[in-house]
């Protein structure tokens, strides 16, 4: 008997990247993850065609985004990647799509030391959906939570904020596309930030060592900070001019193509947002430098139950119509 279509597909594309001993070469019904005395951190995020990525996006970037949005969660929790499982809902199994998808996934699995442990491939008449459940390890009872921020802590973000929402606008042919028509490098950089997040796993140990609370920025800085503050039962004051922007993003703000509110409420940044006690800040900054991850202090945790304030260069509060993106309103 020849292998059925699904088995052949899995064997051809995913077996070569399932190199971890616990994956049993994808020949079994389940995988084994060794906790090695650590707590297993579990996170799951799905990306849907037309919602989280665009129809026609390259298979390589879809693969990387599916894994990296989960790696970003692990990093923000202070966990080291341990592996992942993949559920792929496909309309059809096409070599031309699956081959580069699996190759890019395998490359990222190696880069981030997060091996493919198993998965499920199902047919769907609907949009392509890639669902990843990723695992990490943290020392027992040490996972970094959204709760834990204390008044006086610094509020810190990694990288730059708002690039991905600008990249999406370019792909959709919006105002940003027009404004950057002559600057292909900037266009490609912003599109890349939308399609392929750069998870800050290099910073996980520094977050584990120094952050009082952390999460990754996926639904917009303003909304995600609001969630972190709510979980920690604190508020925060953010100095908006301190929010780190890329050169193209800063230029688009200066030319009034977009407002800063669009950048701090747009999603898909996949940067780490964390709070760090003042006494730890220098050590954290030093660890971040060693890790090669740019960090920016953007404000302070304050007491109170109000949503965080975003203050402009004159100390005026920005009015944010909508703090983050939601699937269902």
Site for its own copies in 195-254 (CB under 8 A): 215-216, 219, 223, 226-227, 231
Site for its own copies in 281-310 (CB under 8 A): 307
Per CB under 8 A, does 125 bind its own copies?
yes
For 213, the 3-state DSSP assignment is strand
In angstroms, the first-to-last Cα distance of the chain is 50
| Tokens 């390589």 -> residue | 60
- Among 59, 67, 71, 121, contact with its own copies (rule: CB under 8 A): 121
Per CB under 8 A, does 158 bind its own copies?
no
- Among 11, 12, 58, 93, contact with its own copies (rule: CB under 8 A): 93
- Among 99, 110, 113, 122, contact with its own copies (rule: CB under 8 A): 122
- Among 9, 114, 208, 236, contact with its own copies (rule: CB under 8 A): 9
**# binding residues, its own copies (CB under 8 A):** 79
The CB-of-277 to its own copies minimum distance in angstroms stands at: 20
Strand order in the sheet with 309-311: 213-217, 271-276, 154-158, 295-302, 235-239, 309-311
Q: How many CB atoms lie within 10 A of CB 319?
A: 7
| Tokens 């943290």 -> residue | 138
Distance CA 171, CA 240 (A): 27
- Among 12, 15, 16, 46, contact with its own copies (rule: CB under 8 A): 46
The CB-of-289 to its own copies minimum distance in angstroms stands at: 25
- Among 111, 126, 259, 316, contact with its own copies (rule: CB under 8 A): 126
Per CB under 8 A, does 280 bind its own copies?
no
**3-state secondary structure labels for all residues of 282-316:** HHHHHHHHHHCCCEEEEEEEECCCCCCEEECCCCC
């Amino acid at each position: 008997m020849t292998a059925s279509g699904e088995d052949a597909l899995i064997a051809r594309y995913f077996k070569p990247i399932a190199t971890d001993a616990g994956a049993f070469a994808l020949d079994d019904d389940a995988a084994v993850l060794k906790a090695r005395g650590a707590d297993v951190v579990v996170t799951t995020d799905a990306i849907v065609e037309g919602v989280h990525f665009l129809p026609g996006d390259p298979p390589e970037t879809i693969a990387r985004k599916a894994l990296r949005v989960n790696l970003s969660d692990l990093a923000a929790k202070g966990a080291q990647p341990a592996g992942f499982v993949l559920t792929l809902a496909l309309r059809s199994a096409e070599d031309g799509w699956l081959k580069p998808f699996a190759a890019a996934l395998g490359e990222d699995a190696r880069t981030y030391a997060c091996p493919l442990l198993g998965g499920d491939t199902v047919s769907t008449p609907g949009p392509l959906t890639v669902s990843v459940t990723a695992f990490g390890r943290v020392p027992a009872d040490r996972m970094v939570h959204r709760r834990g921020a204390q008044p006086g802590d610094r509020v810190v973000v990694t990288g730059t904020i708002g690039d991905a929402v600008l990249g999406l606008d370019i792909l959709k042919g919006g105002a940003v596309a027009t404004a950057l028509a002559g600057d292909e490098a900037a266009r490609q950089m912003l599109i890349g930030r939308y399609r392929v997040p750069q998870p800050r796993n290099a910073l996980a140990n520094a977050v584990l060592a120094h952050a009082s609370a952390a999460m990754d920025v996926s639904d917009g800085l303003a909304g995600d900070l609001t969630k972190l503050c709510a979980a920690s039962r604190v508020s925060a004051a953010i100095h908006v001019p301190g929010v780190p922007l890329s050169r193209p993003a800063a230029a688009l703000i200066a030319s009034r193509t977009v407002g800063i509110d669009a950048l701090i409420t747009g999603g898909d940044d996949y940067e780490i947002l964390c709070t760090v006690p003042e006494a730890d800040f220098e050590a954290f900054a030093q660890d971040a430098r060693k890790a090669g991850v740019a960090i920016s202090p953007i404000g302070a945790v304050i007491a109170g139950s109000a949503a965080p304030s975003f203050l402009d260069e004159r100390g005026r509060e920005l009015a944010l119509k909508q703090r983050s993106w939601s699937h269902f309103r």
